Structure 1
């Protein structure tokens, strides 16, 4: 490997590329905003350092030597790599930090994404990367720094903090209630209930809590995620039980209706999981604080 003193300077290489691109010392000087003498001196020094000419000089101009033809594309590519790496580093330094979080699909689509711009405005030096996942908290992949999961309430999740317990509300589209003529609780037996794949017991639990004794009909399609159930509700397919904080704004806007003010607290909760060695991270602290404020904790 060459010693640092044996390597040509960036200035000399840029001069070489300018001369090669223009096939003129004078035009290269204009491009680089230096004198023609300075260009000639840089090229001569570079050729002396390399031990071979890069240009063939003729009475009517110059042309690349065989060595120059081999050297030019490699040097141009190397300088472009250096320029790209430098620009990327500067941009990363301006952003300061990247925070990668892995959240449940419904939490991401129904709550986080609609609110994420407020985090960006308050934390301009933190860039968020959002990934989705579900199920029990297991070992994080290498680039994930925080996970948010909906899990059965427990005190035994390592490095996990309960954000809030899950509270589900009954939601329907205004059109469905109007079309079905729903005016009383007894009218609910005419509504189609949307089942949940991973928690099929939710509706029976709901009926017991609300003291509903009449028979109900279930839709023949069950949905795995809350955001799927929400789309079915929007299409007036049926009614669903959805987390209150995910649909609060839609109810306030009148896009959804909780016809009888029904709600049900479940045995689940939303947990944020952060490895202990990352808890002191400024970016994680900032996101945690924003999360709590916007969840109303």
Structure 2
């Protein structure tokens, strides 16, 4: 769709409605009436020919199609906001750092920790690019581009810093565990298994449910009853809602385990060591600017703290 045809006001109203899970709260944030938000969302649904919200007596709830669109819209609005902010607020002394990372890792691991670094490093302007495709890190005058990636090295044209290895295991909501019989790995074959189409820097195979069942000693020709998602966060939301069991990457669900919205049905049994890891990528040539060195050191410290809490 051409950019001049995009209903930008409706997309912004839709994005806020998804974020707040309420037309009323979205209207308050936008400074308009709930009716205005409702009309904008209806216009967007008519424009796209897709139902984005389910309406019911107690409010609204976003559909799966709406959630998929919201992830892209919110990422786009974030990039626009970052661009405007950098144009209007940047100073000659500021160092601009662009960090590219897969959307799920950005949302579920980096963002909850990044505010601490930004509070202590006000002369470093950070932009975030939620992109799973590998682009080479770069040194540029008064700025740099770094990449955080989930994959299996070596990484071409880059120097990598290992943040942490990965372990995969099933997780589900406490409510699902309470109402179903999940006592052995084989019991999961009767459950809806949530899976993700991972995008990596190459055609490397990312371990999935077939690999986990094999490692757990369950003989099965083909794992059926799988529901595929393009983003890990979508599968995770469905698991939290009690709609199935997801094969978890520990760094992405650690906070959810700590809060209790997700549980491991087998405790610490049946982990699957992944050949993939989380790495920070820097340019392979040239000297890192001091601002990048400070960020790299901070990130390595955060990763070390995280590894110490892993179970």
- Shorter chain as denominator, the TM-score bin is 0.5 to 0.7
> What does 1:114-193 align with in structure 2 at a 5 Å threshold?
114-138=112-136, 145-152=145-152, 154-155=153-154, 157-161=156-160, 162-193=162-193
Change (3 A) 1:165 1:103: same
Cα offset, 1:248, TM superposition: 1.0
Tell whether 2:213 aligns with 1:207.
Answer: yes
Distance in 2 separating the partners of 1:109 and 1:219: 28
Match of 1:241 among 237, 247, 253: 247
> What does 1:66-105 align with in structure 2 at a 5 Å threshold?
92-93=91-92, 96-105=94-103
Consecutive unaligned residues in structure 2, runs of 5 or more: 1-86, 199-204
Cα offset, 1:196, TM superposition: 2.3
Cα offset, 1:242, TM superposition: 2.1
Q: Is the 8 A contact 2:167 2:272 kept in 1?
A: yes
Cα offset, 1:122, TM superposition: 2.8
Change (3 A) 1:140 1:222: farther
Cα offset, 1:213, TM superposition: 2.9
Cα offset, 1:134, TM superposition: 1.3
Change (3 A) 1:249 1:174: same
Change (3 A) 1:200 1:288: closer
Q: Is the 8 A contact 1:168 1:265 kept in 2?
A: yes
Distance in 1 separating the partners of 2:292 and 2:139: 17
Across the two proteins, how many residue pairs are aligned to each other?
A: 208
Distance in 1 separating the partners of 2:149 and 2:236: 19
Tell whether 2:220 aligns with 1:221.
Answer: no
Q: Is the 8 A contact 1:171 1:258 kept in 2?
A: yes
Aligned to 1:16: none
Aligned to 1:275: 283
Change (3 A) 1:242 1:278: farther
- Could you tell me the TM-score, scaled by structure 2's length? 0.59
Q: Secondary structure at the match of 1:135?
A: coil
Give the structure with higher Rg (CA). 1
Deviations 1:32-67 (A, max 9, x none): xxxxxxxxxxxxxxxxxxxxxxxxxxxxxxxxxxxx
Aligned to 1:74: none
